[in-house]
Chains A and B, each alone.
Chain A
Amino acid sequence: GQQVMQIPQYQHVQEGEDFTTYCNSSTTLSNIQWYKQRPGGHPVFLIQLVKSGEVKKQKRLTFQFGEAKKNSSLHITATQTTDVGTYFCAGKTNAGKSTFGDGTTLTVKP
Chain B
Amino acid sequence: NAGVMQNPRHLVRRRGQEARLRCSPMKGHSHVYWYRQLPEEGLKFMVYLQKENIIDESGMPKERFSAEFPKEGPSILRIQQVVRGDSAAYFCASSPSGQGFYEQYFGPGTRLTVT
Contact = CB atoms under 8 A, between A and B. Distances in A.
Interface of A: 1, 6, 30-31, 33, 35, 41-45, 48, 50, 88, 90, 92, 96-103, 105
Contacts of A1: 58
A100 B37 CA distance: 11
Contact of B105 (A31, A45, A99, A101): A45
B106 to A, nearest CB: 4
Interface residues of B, number: 23
A97 B61 CA distance: 18
A88 B42 contact: yes
B101 A31 contact: yes
Give the secondary structure class of A's interface: strand
Given A31-B101, A42-B91, A48-B101, A99 B106 contact: no
B42 A100 contact: yes
Given A42-B108, A43-B43, 10 more contacts: A1-B58, A6-B42, A30-B101, A31-B101, A43-B104, A45-B104, A48-B101, A50-B101, A98-B45, A103-B43
Contacts of A31: 101
Contacts of B33: 98
Contacts of B34: none
B58 to A, nearest CB: 8
B48 interface: yes
Given A43-B91, A44-B106, A48-B103, A100 B35 contact: yes
B98 interface: yes
18 contacts: A30-B101, A31-B101, A33-B103, A33-B104, A41-B108, A43-B43, A43-B91, A45-B104, A88-B43, A90-B104, A92-B101, A96-B99, A98-B104, A100-B35, A100-B43, A100-B45, A103-B42, A103-B43
Contact of A97 (B44, B56, B103, B109): B56
